[in-house]
Amino acid sequence: MSAGTSASLLACFFAEKQVIRIVLLGRTGNGKSSVGNSISESKAFKSEISCESITKQCQYHVADFYDIRLEIVDTPGLFDTETTQEESIKEIASCIGASAPGPHAFVLVLNINRFTKEEEQTVDTLSQLFGDKFFSYVVILFTGKDGLIRNGKSLEDFIAKVPDYLRGLLDKCKNRCTAIDNTGTQEKQKTGVNELLTLIQTMMKENEPEYYTNEIYLKAEEMIVEHEKDKDGLGDKSNKRHNSRIGIINGDSWFKKEDIIKMIKDMYIASLPFIGRMVFQALFNKLNIF
């Protein structure tokens, strides 16, 4: 073996893995944590049947999928009727820190058996917050593929008859959607995960930049880089970043969550139509939240 060949083999060995940052979004009970577990082939995310929300705060977990490092952020049901605006905004701040400088994919987890007005409102609020380009980074993942199969239907049959709002949502996401059975065999889960990751990788090739970002994400990244400056000797870059993300999830004070919360609120208010902006501002001033 020539010196050149061994050098390039060494370079391959030490080359950093491709990283894909994924944020799981969707209404409580839709199966976000189950999807996180299927993707990571683990039980890292708490998931159970319940009429109240199970995941109360954002969670972060890393998983290797062949030669890809998947950095997964699971979220509670944001902007659900059960969650206050204030709680949702706080969790979005954690989610932003844990997926800075921005996720390659927002995986919108929908239950194939349920698409309600509340779901529509959640999607509308998220798109107000993240702006129009949000949809360029969304992949829709329907959970409950088992039910579909039991009824002898395919995803295509299902898609052909969805309500108007969902049709519009699929159009905005260029029909990037797939279905998964999180309760099925490992093989079935893997099939769903493979389809999801293929969609994400194709989307990444189409998107410039490859991942979603905005000024809030950049602010979060700035804080993290500053924090990591003094962490020489604490492992390689990805190890340091892993520890930073864990710190953010745990509420470490170096990550100034209040600054991020303030930016989110400002952006949210700015995205509202004039009348809505006045009402929202007045309401929150009254409640002394701002």
Ligand X SMILES: Nc1nc2c(ncn2[C@@H]2O[C@H](COP(=O)(O)OP(=O)(O)OP(=O)(O)O)[C@@H](O)[C@H]2O)c(=O)[nH]1
Q: Using CB under 6 A, list all residues that contact ligand X.
A: 26, 28-34, 47-49, 53-55, 76-77, 143-146, 180-183
Could you tell which of ligand X, Mg ion, none binds residue 146, using a CB distance below 5 to 8 A set by kind?
ligand X
- Out of ligand X, Mg ion, none, what residue 30 binds, judged by CB under 5 to 8 A for its kind, is ligand X
In the complex, least distance from residue 77 CB atom to ligand X, rounded to whole angstroms: 4
Task: Return the one option of ligand X, Mg ion, none that residue 88 interacts with (CB less than 5 to 8 A, by type).
Answer: none
Q: How far apart are CA 289 and CA 99, in angstroms?
A: 26
Strand segments, DSSP code E, in the chain are 18-25, 59-65, 68-74, 105-111, 138-143, 177-180
Residues paired with 109 in a beta bridge: 141
Q: How far is the CB of 260 from ligand X (least distance, A)?
A: 21
Question: Least separation, in Å, of the C-beta of 74 and ligand X?
Answer: 7
Q: Measured from the CB atom, is 111 or 207 closer to ligand X?
A: 111
User: Which partner in Mg ion, ligand X, none is near 83 (CB below 5 to 8 A by kind)?
Assistant: none
Query: CA 129, CA 85: separation in Å to the nearest integer?
Result: 12
Q: How many CB atoms sit inside 10 A of residue 115's CB?
A: 19
> Binding partner of residue 31 among Mg ion, ligand X, none, CB under 5 to 8 Å per kind?
ligand X
| Type of residue at 183 | T
**Beta-bridge mates of residue 105:** 22
Give the span between the Cα atoms of 122 and 135, in whole angstroms: 14
Contact set for Mg ion, span 39-68 (CB under 5 A): 54-55
- Residue 231 CA to residue 269 CA, distance in Å, equals 37
State the binding partner of 29 from ligand X, Mg ion, none, CB within 5 to 8 A by kind: ligand X
Name the minimum Å distance from CB 193 to Mg ion.
17
Residues 208 and 98: their CA atoms lie apart, in Å, by 21
Q: Which of 26, 36, 11 is nearest to 140 (CA)?
A: 26
Q: Is 275 exposed, middle or buried (0-12, 13-18, 19+ CB in 10 A)?
A: exposed
Contact 199/162 with Cβ under 8 angstroms? no
Least distance to ligand X, CB of residue 136, Å: 24
Contacted by 77, from Mg ion, ligand X, none: CB < 5 to 8 Å by type? ligand X
Edge-to-edge strands, sheet with 18-25: 59-65, 68-74, 18-25, 105-111, 138-143, 177-180
Q: Shortest Cβ contact with Mg ion: which residue?
A: 55
* Total residues in contact with Mg ion, by rule CB under 5 A: 4
Binding residues for Mg ion restricted to 201-220, rule: CB under 5 A: none
Closest approach of ligand X to the CB of residue 51, in Å: 10
CA distance 202 to 229: 34
Return the one option of Mg ion, ligand X, none that residue 38 interacts with (CB less than 5 to 8 A, by type): none
- Amino acid residing at 90: K
Counting every residue written for the chain, the total comes to 290
- What minimum distance in Å lies between the beta carbon of 84 and Mg ion? 18
- Closest CB to ligand X among residues 40, 55: 55
Least distance from C-beta 15 to ligand X, angstroms? Answer: 34
Q: What residue has token string 């002394």?
A: 288
Of 22, 23, 26, 33, the residue at the interface with Mg ion (CB under 5 A) is: 33
Residue number with CB closer to ligand X (103 or 192): 192
Judged by the rule CB under 5 A, the positions of this chain that interact with Mg ion are 32-33, 54-55
